[in-house]
Amino acid sequence: MRQVNRHEGLAVLPLADELHDVYADTFSGPPWNKRQAGIDQFRQRLDTDAGRPGFRSVVTTSPAGIDGFATGWITGQPFRSDRAYGLVAEQLGPERVERMLIGALEVDELAVRPRARRDGLGRQLLGELISDAPSGRAWLLTSRQITDTVAFYRRVGWYEVPPLLGQENDIVVFLSPAHPARDTPTPP
């Protein structure tokens, strides 16, 4: 029997080492194959991210321990340019970033241990994390190259935002099923 716990802000930090272990278990193998340095960056980022406005996390546990978690926060302005955010901005353009992403809940991490996959846990974590997204507005980004992950988000009803013409890159931006901008036409 799994238990779902939600944490707001810094309240998740007592679980940081365990979440780091789940992150490592999730992303060190295929298809992600992250190196230890990339895995350790998650632990460092969590300390900072937990202090972001609107930060929340959802953690599921079973008798075996933590099976998975999801984290996110409200996307602020100005739009970030570190990590993959610059690619998102290029792909969408400033008007769509403002309309679709600023003020929306950004899903930053979704991690499910290999032992807990294939029984709806990823869908459950996403649903719980975005359950109170502002006006149903939530979004996430992932790598286009991780086709199983892209297929998962499509399968659970997330909408892939088409890039502006000529601005395609390795990033896929998804809007949540309830996001009001999901049916907005793409400008040329």
Give the bridge partners for 70, in sequence order: 58, 110
Q: pTM, whole model, 2 decimals?
A: 0.93
pLDDT digits (tens, 9 = 90+) for 122-169: 999 999 999 999 999 999 999 999 999 999 999 999 999 999 999 999
Per-residue pLDDT band at 29 (split at 50, 70, 90): confident
What is the four-CA torsion angle of 186, 95, 130, 35, rounded to 10 degrees? 90
DSSP structural state of residue 115: G
Instruction: List, in order of start, the domains of the chain with CATH numbers.
Output: 3-175 (3.40.630.30)
Q: So what's the pLDDT on residue 153? A: 97
Q: Return d(Cα 94, Cα 81) in angstroms, integer.
A: 12
Q: Return d(Cα 111, Cα 14) in angstroms, integer.
A: 18
From residue 103, how far is each of 21, 52, 54, 173 by CA, in Å? Answer: 30, 13, 10, 16
